[in-house]
Amino acid sequence: MDQQKSLPRMGFPNLGLGVGLRSQHYDYLLQNDPQVDWFEIITENYLDNFGLGRHVLEHIRNQRPVVMHGVSMSIGSTDPINFKYLQKVNELADFIQPNWISDHLCWTGVAHTNTHDLLPLPLTEESLNHVSERVLQVQDFLKRPLILENPSTYLEFNHSTITEWEFLSELTKRTDCGLLLDVNNVFVSATNHGFDAETYIRNIPANRIVQIHLAGPTDCGFYLVDTHDNPVPGEVWKLYQLAHNLTGGVSTLLEWDANIPAFPELIQELHLAKEVIQGNIPNTPLFQSKHETVSNPVSHQLTQPYE
């Protein structure tokens, strides 16, 4: 693809297979070997946190690589960039020396109020110009490339003129940012909006992908919700196999943010990725909800509200 040839591969290592650091596993991790290659933290859970969470994080960072994954940067907002928040991000990064810092292609609030949701953008040239300028400002402040994730979405703007994969591809060209490809989010959004998930993944510049997310969504009948509370379904594993083949292998992380299993069970699910890479796709069904609505996964990720 032309867009893959236009930029060199990002200079980030393949960390292997990792999971999110969650408070439910603190006791286990303080007493046992982590059994995974690396960890991802929800950035906001550790800002101004100097208690048990900071102690566990320091313990983990001394054993394994750690990356920071935020949910409050609001890169697509029309509010001014929150440099007070970014300063706290930098202070945490100075402490743990993460391999990279990521967030989402979204906006999370308005009028300086955080909604604790990952809200979609209108995908237009105007929006692309706006986000590109903000990414460049954030990268200048953080003194490192920003890695942006494709979010799950449940609505689209009628006046959007660019597909999400075109938007992200152009954004990498203009800003030299990296991509966190969440194959579960691609599956959720493709199902909700009626586009082809494989087309999306094949048209994202593989040389810009730094990390991949895996997770289990919930089928609510008329739409899918990105709940992060079930095993990864076979359809998502197929997309992961495709992404792995296109990238040649990048850091892969299993997200699980509600109904969290014991750590050894979590590792068993993560290690299915090794089978998928070898061509063995699990026949795991998509979880069917018995209710019409489900909770917001962002509220599960945050152990306490962050403003």
Greater model confidence, 292 or 1: 292
Closest by Cα among 280, 290, 153 to 220:
290
Q: How many domains does the chain have?
A: 1
Please check whether residue 305 lies inside any domain of the structure: no
How many whole angstroms separate alpha carbon 144 and alpha carbon 31? 34
Give one DSSP letter per residue of 1-43, joined into a string: -HHHHSSPPP------EEEE--GGGHHHHHHS---SSEEEEEG
* Mean pLDDT value of segment 224-231: 95
Please check whether residue 126 lies inside any domain of the structure: yes
Please check whether residue 294 lies inside any domain of the structure: no
Please check whether residue 264 lies inside any domain of the structure: yes
Using one digit for the tens of pLDDT, what is the confidence trace for 161-202?
A: 999 999 999 999 999 999 999 999 999 999 999 999 999 999
Please check whether residue 300 lies inside any domain of the structure: no
**Residue 234 domain boundaries:** 2-286
**Per-residue confidence band for 6, with pLDDT thresholds at 50, 70 and 90:** very low
234 HSE (CA, 13 A, CB side): 7
Closest by Cα among 66, 86, 91, 87 to 75:
86
Using one digit for the tens of pLDDT, what is the confidence trace for 115-128?
A: 788 999 999 999 99
Using one digit for the tens of pLDDT, what is the confidence trace for 252-270?
A: 999 999 999 999 999 999 9
Of 46-50, 185-189, 211-215, give the lowest mean pLDDT range.
46-50
* Mean pLDDT value of segment 94-106: 97
**Per-residue confidence band for 306, with pLDDT thresholds at 50, 70 and 90:** very low
The answer to whether residue 220 scores a pLDDT higher than 70 is yes
Contact 252, 240 (CB under 8 A): yes
**Per-residue confidence band for 239, with pLDDT thresholds at 50, 70 and 90:** very high
Please check whether residue 168 lies inside any domain of the structure: yes
The answer to whether residue 87 scores a pLDDT higher than 90 is yes
Please check whether residue 92 lies inside any domain of the structure: yes
The CATH number for 21's domain is 3.20.20.150
pLDDT, residue 301, reads: 58
164-175 and 125-142 are packed helices; what angle lies between their axes, rounded to 10 degrees? 40
The answer to whether residue 112 scores a pLDDT higher than 80 is no
pLDDT, residue 10, reads: 83
Please check whether residue 304 lies inside any domain of the structure: no
The answer to whether residue 303 scores a pLDDT higher than 80 is no
Contact 107, 121 (CB under 8 A): yes
**Per-residue confidence band for 111, with pLDDT thresholds at 50, 70 and 90:** confident
